[in-house]
C-alpha cells in the first residue's frame, strides 16, 4: 500500500489546489469529480433562463464534473448518469431512460441541504425541456422537421455523445461550473451524505470508513481506460482462485481511493515522463522540488555550455547542492513507473521510496562515474540513449529500437541509478560490440554517439567493479594484457594508413577500422 499512502499524503498536501485551474498544467481533481472533454457550453442566468450556447474548442475542452462511483466508471454496459454535466442524450429528452436518470440525480442534489444556486438554475432549465430547440437556435445542432435530433458532429463527436457543461451567471465565486470551488464542495458534502456501502478498515488510512471495489481509471492519459485496481471480474481471473470476494484481497475506502487516484493522475500528467509507452514519475509527497531522474540533469549554467573536464565534478556538486537545499535530508523521494498490461489493466512496474540524501548521493555517483569526454566537454549519456545505442538499429538519421525492449532496459538502468547497484554486463557488452562496428553506421554522428556512450558505460562498469575513481587515456607501457597490446597495434595501423589516405585525398575508412570488429572478437 506504500504507493497509495504516499499518493494520499500528496493529495492532502495539495488539497487547496483541488479544482483550481493552473495555466499550462492539468487540474488536480476534487474528490467525487472526474475530468471529461466537453463539446458544448450552455450559459444560463441565475433563474435558469437560457442565454446562449457555444461549441467548445478542443484546446479548452477539459472540464471537471461531479460524478458518482457508478457514473465515473460507466462503460458500454453501464448507463449511469452524471449528476450535473453529461452527454446530450442524457441532458435532453432524447433517450427516456437516460434522461429520467439524469433528472432524478440532479433533482436529488437540488432538494438536499447541500444544494447550490447553480444546481437550482440548471434544474429549472432542464425542466423546461428546451435544450434541443435552444441549441438549434444558436446553430449548435441540426434538428429534423419533426423536431428530433439530426445526425451530425461537433469537434469530431456525434451529437448524442457531446458533453454539455454549464455556465451560470451571478451564482457563485465563478460563473463556470467547472471552476467553482463552492460547487465542488457542495457536491462532495452531498455525495458523502447519501453514499451507502459496507464499512470496514481502510488499509490506506487505517480507519473504519465506507469501502469501495469500484476504483477510478485514467491515471495515465495515454491508457485512460486502464485501472490500477480492478475487482469487477468475478467470473474471470482478476481474483478468482485466490479470493472468494474482492474485499479479501484489500479493503480501501472510497475517500482514500479518490485521493490516491486523483493525486497519481495529477502527478503523472504534470510531471510524468513517458518513455516507450511506460510512464515514469518522481516526486516528493510534501511538494518539495525534486530532480526528475528521468530527465537530464542540467548543470551547464546560464551559458548552456557543457562543463569542461576540469570543471565537471565541481559543477555537478554545486548543481546537486542546490537541489539538496530545497529538500531536507530525511525527506522522501518517491519513484514509480506505470504501464498498461492490457487496455483495461494498468501495472505498477516499478516503485521505490528513498531518503533525499540517499537519492542525491546516488545521482551524484551516477553522473560522476558514468561520464566521458565529448569534444572539449564532459557529458553523461541519458539512460534512454544508452539503451538505444546498445540495442537499436540505425534507420535513416536516427537509431531506433522497439519500445518493448527500450522500456524494460530503461527500467533496469533506472534501478541501477536509484539503488546503487552495478550496471548489467549485457548492456556494456552490447555497447562494446556496437562501438567495434563503425561501418555499420552510415551517419557518422550516430557512430560517434555510440562510441561516446560505450566509453562512458565501460568506465562506469569498471569503476563499480574495481572501485577506482579515475580512468585515464595515458599510454600504459607496462601493461602486458593481450587485448591492450592488440589495441595499440590497431591504433598504429590506423595512423599509418590514415596518413597515406590523407595524402591521396581519398574519402574512405582505413582497413584498420574495417577490421576493428575482428580485433574485438
The predicted-structure confidence for 44-68, as pLDDT tens digits, reads as follows 999 999 999 999 998 899 999 999 9
Q: Where does the pLDDT of residue 473 fall: very low under 50, low under 70, confident under 90, or very high at 90 and above?
A: low
Based on the domain organization, do 74 and 165 belong to the same domain?
Answer: yes
User: pLDDT tens digit string along 68-102?
Assistant: 998 987 776 678 999 999 999 999 999 899 999 99
Based on the domain organization, do 409 and 486 belong to the same domain?
Answer: no
User: pLDDT tens digit string along 288-313?
Assistant: 999 988 888 876 555 566 677 778 88
Q: Are 411 and 338 in contact (CB under 8 A)?
A: no
More confident residue, 288 or 444: 288
Q: What share of the chain is helix, strand, coil (3-state, %, to 5)?
A: 45, 15, 40
| Residue the block writes with cell 546498445 | 390
**d(C-alpha 333, C-alpha 297), whole Å:** 16
Based on the domain organization, do 297 and 429 belong to the same domain?
Answer: yes
Q: What is the mean pLDDT of the chain?
A: 88
**d(C-alpha 136, C-alpha 148), whole Å:** 11
Is residue 64, in this structure, part of any structural domain at all?
A: yes
User: pLDDT tens digit string along 212-257?
Assistant: 888 888 888 877 778 888 765 555 555 556 667 777 778 899 999 9
Identify the domain boundary among 473, 488, 509: 473
**d(C-alpha 409, C-alpha 387), whole Å:** 6
Based on the domain organization, do 36 and 123 belong to the same domain?
Answer: yes
Q: Where does the pLDDT of residue 10 fall: very low under 50, low under 70, confident under 90, or very high at 90 and above?
A: very high
- pLDDT reported for residue 166: 97
Q: Are 285 and 292 in contact (CB under 8 A)?
A: no
Whether 112 shows a pLDDT value over 80: the answer reads yes
Lowest mean pLDDT, pick from 123-127, 184-188, 363-367, 483-487: 483-487
Is residue 212, in this structure, part of any structural domain at all?
A: no
Based on the domain organization, do 187 and 284 belong to the same domain?
Answer: no
The three cell numbers of residue 146 are 419533426
DSSP E strand stretches across 71-184: 86-87, 153-154, 157-158, 163-168
Q: The domain containing residue 515 runs over which residues?
A: 475-521
- pLDDT reported for residue 39: 96
- pLDDT reported for residue 439: 80
Question: With the CA atoms of 416, 422, 423 and 425 taken in that order, what torsion angle do they form, in degrees rounded to the nearest 10?
Answer: -150
Q: Is 121 left (phi over 0), alpha (psi -120 to 50) or beta?
A: alpha
Could you tell me whether strands 157-158 and 153-154 are parallel, antiparallel, or unpaired per DSSP bridges? antiparallel
Based on the domain organization, do 182 and 294 belong to the same domain?
Answer: no
**d(C-alpha 509, C-alpha 507), whole Å:** 7
- pLDDT reported for residue 172: 75
DSSP E strand stretches across 70-125: 86-87
End-to-end, the C-alpha distance of the chain in Å comes to 49
- pLDDT reported for residue 308: 76
**d(C-alpha 387, C-alpha 320), whole Å:** 25
Whether 487 shows a pLDDT value over 70: the answer reads yes
More confident residue, 278 or 476: 278
Based on the domain organization, do 425 and 318 belong to the same domain?
Answer: yes
- pLDDT reported for residue 519: 63
Is residue 122, in this structure, part of any structural domain at all?
A: yes
Total number of domains constituting the chain:
3
DSSP 8-state code for residue 442:
S
DSSP code string of 298-362: --STTTT-PPPTTTHHHHHHHHHHHHHHHS-TT-EEEEEEEEESSSSBEEEEEEEEEEHHHHHHH
Is residue 248, in this structure, part of any structural domain at all?
A: no
Based on the domain organization, do 41 and 116 belong to the same domain?
Answer: yes
Averaged pLDDT for residues 34-52: 95
Based on the domain organization, do 459 and 482 belong to the same domain?
Answer: no
Based on the domain organization, do 440 and 496 belong to the same domain?
Answer: no
Based on the domain organization, do 75 and 102 belong to the same domain?
Answer: yes
Averaged pLDDT for residues 435-445: 84
Amino acid at each position: 500500500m506504500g504507493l497509495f499512502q504516499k499518493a494520499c499524503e500528496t493529495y492532502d498536501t495539495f488539497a487547496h489546489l483541488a479544482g483550481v485551474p493552473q495555466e499550462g498544467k492539468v487540474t488536480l481533481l476534487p474528490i467525487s469529480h472526474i475530468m471529461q472533454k466537453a463539446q458544448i457550453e450552455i450559459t444560463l442566468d441565475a433563474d435558469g433562463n437560457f442565454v446562449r450556447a457555444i461549441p467548445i474548442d478542443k484546446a479548452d475542452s477539459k472540464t471537471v464534473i461531479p460524478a458518482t462511483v457508478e457514473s465515473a466508471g460507466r462503460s458500454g454496459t453501464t448507463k449511469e448518469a452524471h449528476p450535473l454535466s453529461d452527454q446530450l442524450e442524457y441532458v435532453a429528452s432524447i433517450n427516456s431512460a437516460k434522461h429520467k436518470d439524469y433528472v432524478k440525480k440532479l433533482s436529488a442534489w437540488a432538494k438536499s441541504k447541500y444544494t447550490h444556486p447553480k444546481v437550482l438554475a440548471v434544474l429549472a432549465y432542464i425542466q423546461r425541456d428546451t435544450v434541443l430547440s435552444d441549441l438549434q437556435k444558436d446553430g449548435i445542432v441540426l434538428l429534423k422537421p419533426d423536431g428530433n435530433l439530426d445526425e451530425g458532429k461537433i469537434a469530431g463527436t456525434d451529437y448524442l455523445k457531446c458533453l454539455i457543461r454549464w455556465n451560470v451567471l451571478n451564482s457563485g465565486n465563478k460563473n463556470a461550473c467547472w471552476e467553482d470551488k463552492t460547487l465542488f464542495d457542495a457536491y462532495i458534502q452531498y455525495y458523502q451524505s447519501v453514499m451507502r456501502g459496507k464499512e470496514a478498515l481502510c488499509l490506506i488510512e487505517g480507519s473504519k470508513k465506507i469501502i469501495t471495489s469500484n476504483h477510478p481509471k485514467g491515471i495515465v492519459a495515454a491508457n485512460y481506460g486502464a485501472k490500477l485496481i480492478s475487482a469487477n471480474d468475478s467470473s474471470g481471473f482478476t481474483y478468482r482462485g485466490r479470493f472468494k470476494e474482492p474485499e479479501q484481497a484489500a479493503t480501501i475506502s472510497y475517500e482514500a481511493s479518490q485521493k490516491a487516484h486523483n493525486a497519481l493522475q495529477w502527478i503523472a500528467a504534470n510531471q510524468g515522463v513517458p518513455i516507450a509507452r511506460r510512464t515514469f514519475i518522481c516526486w516528493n509527497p510534501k511538494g518539495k522540488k525534486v530532480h526528475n531522474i528521468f530527465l537530464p540533469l542540467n548543470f551547464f549554467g546560464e551559458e548552456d555550455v557543457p562543463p569542461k573536464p576540469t570543471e565537471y565534478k565541481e559543477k555537478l556538486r554545486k548543481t546537486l547542492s542546490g537541489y539538496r537545499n530545497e529538500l531536507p535530508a530525511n525527506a522522501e523521494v518517491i519513484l514509480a513507473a506505470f504501464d498498461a498490461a492490457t487496455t483495461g489493466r494498468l501495472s505498477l512496474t516499478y516503485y521505490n521510496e528513498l531518503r533525499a540524501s540517499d537519492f542525491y548521493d546516488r545521482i551524484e555517483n551516477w553522473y560522476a562515474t558514468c561520464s566521458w569526454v565529448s569534444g572539449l566537454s564532459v557529458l553523461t549519456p541519458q539512460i534512454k540513449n544508452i539503451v538505444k545505442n546498445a540495442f537499436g538499429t540505425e534507420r535513416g538519421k536516427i537509431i531506433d529500437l522497439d519500445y518493448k525492449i527500450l522500456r524494460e532496459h530503461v527500467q533496469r538502468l533506472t534501478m541501477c541509478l536509484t539503488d546503487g547497484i552495478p550496471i548489467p554486463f549485457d548492456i556494456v557488452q552490447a555497447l562494446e560490440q556496437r562501438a567495434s562496428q563503425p561501418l555499420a553506421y552510415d551517419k557518422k554522428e550516430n557512430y560517434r554517439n555510440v562510441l561516446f556512450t560505450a566509453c562512458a558505460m565501460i568506465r562506469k562498469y569498471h569503476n563499480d567493479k574495481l572501485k577506482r575513481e579515475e580512468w585515464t587515456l595515458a599510454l600504459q607501457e607496462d601493461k602486458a594484457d593481450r587485448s591492450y597490446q592488440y589495441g595499440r597495434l590497431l591504433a598504429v595501423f590506423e595512423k599509418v594508413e590514415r596518413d597515406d589516405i590523407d595524402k591521396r585525398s581519398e574519402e574512405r575508412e582505413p582497413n584498420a577500422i574495417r577490421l576493428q570488429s575482428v580485433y574485438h572478437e
